């Protein structure tokens, strides 16, 4: 068992924070002053420590560079009204982290190591947590295979790191998406539900093609039939049709999104009917062609709620409702209120870090 209270800390000699406007940085560009790092060897995690942010020196033979054993999480910490900091749904993220690690045949990260490493890093770098509207400290825990071996094998050695960066908007405006029917994101039995690097690498070319054609993102369809909606870009996707909140059910191809889950719980608590089920392109198109109001949005840690203003199916572009009174914005506001301590944390989502 890890003695988490004894994580050694080496502090930076000079913070990079003075002079930075942490409420106005491009997404994911600026690391905080410190990082957390631990090493896995001989079947256990060792050498957990917090150090000034630094480069990694690794052998070009390290397995992570070759066969894809890389797993990550995307999390956020928020400035509470009372000045303390809250990490959002730490336990749920940790559970998903281990599910992803298991799928990639990588070792679990114990809860105490994950929690204490993150809490202590956030406490040390708490001045980097922005307080602006839509701003947060984005936290990126990740594990990479570090064994030096040019052979396709499960690595026997790993590094677990946690880094952080102050962020604002991921998307600056409502999205125009196209239904993708050539490429797929994930197939049944594959790694779609895991947060592994390969899922994101494989999405880059289709996304670039969509951007070149004038869209912001793709709406992924299933591998077998290309008839059912899966996710949008790097986010879960939700629709509000006829007052019913509909999203694809979790499966081996759908990421168990923490923002997705939080919005579904908020909606259910408000008495909104929620359906987690298959939704076909034909069903969506019929709704878009009717007089019914259709809201569509992506949900993810980075993007929070990303309104979709238009969906192109084949050659036909359809408008979705993005008016100010759209329910998706009220979900976002409610989520924000809980995360910043303005509303009651009824589900115990906030992992509070008390700062001096």
Compute, in degrees rounded to 10, the torsion defined by CA atoms 28, 29, 35, 41: 70
Spatial contact of 142 and 73, defined as CB atoms under 8 Å apart: yes
Q: Which is nearer to ligand COI, 142 or 228 (CB)?
A: 142
**What track of x and - describes contact with ligand COI for positions 309 through 348 (by CB under 6 A)?**
----------------------------------------
Give me the helix-helix angle, 90-103 and 111-124, nearest 10°.
130
- Minimal distance in Å, beta carbon 260 to ligand COI? 10
- Minimal distance in Å, beta carbon 57 to ligand COI? 25
Distance CA 316, CA 309 (A): 14
Q: Which is nearer to ligand COI, 100 or 155 (CB)?
A: 100
- Minimal distance in Å, beta carbon 153 to ligand COI? 27
Residue number with the smallest Cβ distance to ligand COI? 74
Distance CA 145, CA 265 (A): 36
Residue 167 found at the interface with ligand COI (CB under 6 A): no
Among 45, 64, 74, 116, binds ligand COI (CB under 6 A): 74
Residue 218 found at the interface with ligand COI (CB under 6 A): no
- Minimal distance in Å, beta carbon 261 to ligand COI? 13
# binding residues, ligand COI (CB under 6 A): 6
Q: Which is nearer to ligand COI, 155 or 234 (CB)?
A: 234
Name the phi and psi angles at 298, rounded to 5.
-90, 150
- Minimal distance in Å, beta carbon 76 to ligand COI? 8
Spatial contact of 139 and 85, defined as CB atoms under 8 Å apart: no
- Minimal distance in Å, beta carbon 18 to ligand COI? 28
**What track of x and - describes contact with ligand COI for positions 294 through 313 (by CB under 6 A)?**
------xxx-----------
Name the phi and psi angles at 83, rounded to 5.
95, -20
Q: At CA 351, angle to CA 347 and CA 356, rounded to 5?
A: 140
- Minimal distance in Å, beta carbon 170 to ligand COI? 7
- Minimal distance in Å, beta carbon 253 to ligand COI? 16
**Residue 161: how many CA atoms within 13 Å on its side-chain side?**
17
Residue 234 found at the interface with ligand COI (CB under 6 A): yes
Q: Which is nearer to ligand COI, 147 or 236 (CB)?
A: 236
Q: Which is nearer to ligand COI, 100 or 310 (CB)?
A: 100
Q: Which is nearer to ligand COI, 253 or 301 (CB)?
A: 301
Spatial contact of 303 and 334, defined as CB atoms under 8 Å apart: no
Q: Which is nearer to ligand COI, 164 or 300 (CB)?
A: 300
- Minimal distance in Å, beta carbon 233 to ligand COI? 8
- Would strands 350-353 and 44-52 be described as parallel, antiparallel, or unpaired? unpaired
Spatial contact of 108 and 43, defined as CB atoms under 8 Å apart: no
Distance CA 221, CA 117 (A): 37
Distance CA 121, CA 117 (A): 6
3-class state of residue 140 by DSSP: strand
Buried b (16+ CB within 10 A) or exposed e, 212-235: eeebbbbbbbbbeeeebbbbbbbb
3-class state of residue 92 by DSSP: helix
Q: Which is nearer to ligand COI, 207 or 234 (CB)?
A: 234
Q: Which is nearer to ligand COI, 154 or 208 (CB)?
A: 208
List contacts with ligand COI (CB under 6 A): 74, 200, 234, 300-302
């Amino acid at each position: 068992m890890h003695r988490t209270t004894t994580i050694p800390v080496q502090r930076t000699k000079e913070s990079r924070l003075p002079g930075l406007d942490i409420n106005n940085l491009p997404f994911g560009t600026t690391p905080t002053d410190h990082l957390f790092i631990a090493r896995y060897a001989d079947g256990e995690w060792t050498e957990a420590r917090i150090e000034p942010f630094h480069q990694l020196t690794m052998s070009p033979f390290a397995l992570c560079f070759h066969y894809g054993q890389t797993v990550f999480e995307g999390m956020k910490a928020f400035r509470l009204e009372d000045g303390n900091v809250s990490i959002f749904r730490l336990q749920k993220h940790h559970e998903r982290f281990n599910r992803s690690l298991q799928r990639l045949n990588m070792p679990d990260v114990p809860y105490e190591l994950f929690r204490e490493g993150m809490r202590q890093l956030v406490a040390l770098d708490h001045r980097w947590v922005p307080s602006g509207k839509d701003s947060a400290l984005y936290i990126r825990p990740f594990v990479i295979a570090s064994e030096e071996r040019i052979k396709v094998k499960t690595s026997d050695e790993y590094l677990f790191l946690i880094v952080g960066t102050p962020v604002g908007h991921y998307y600056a405006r409502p999205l125009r998406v196209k239904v993708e029917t050539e490429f797929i994101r994930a197939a049944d039995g594959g790694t779609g539900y895991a947060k592994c690097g390969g899922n994101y690498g494989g999405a880059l070319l289709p996304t670039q093609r969509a951007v070149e054609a004038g869209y912001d993102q793709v709406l992924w369809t299933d591998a077998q039939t290309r008839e059912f909606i899966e996710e949008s870009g790097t986010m879960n996707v939700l629709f509000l049709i006829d007052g019913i909140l509909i999203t694809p059910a979790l499966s081996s191809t759908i990421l168990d999104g923490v923002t997705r889950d939080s919005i579904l719980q908020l909606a259910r608590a408000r008495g909104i009917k929620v359906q987690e089920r298959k939704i076909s392109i034909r069903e969506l198109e019929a709704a878009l062609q009717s007089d019914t109001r259709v809201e569509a949005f992506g949900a993810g840690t980075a993007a929070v709620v990303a309104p979709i203003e238009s969906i192109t199916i084949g050659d036909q572009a359809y408008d979705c409702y993005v008016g100010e009174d759209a329910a998706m914005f009220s979900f976002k506001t409610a989520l924000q209120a809980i995360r910043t301590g303005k509303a009651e944390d009824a589900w115990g989502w906030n992992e509070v870090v008390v700062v001096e």
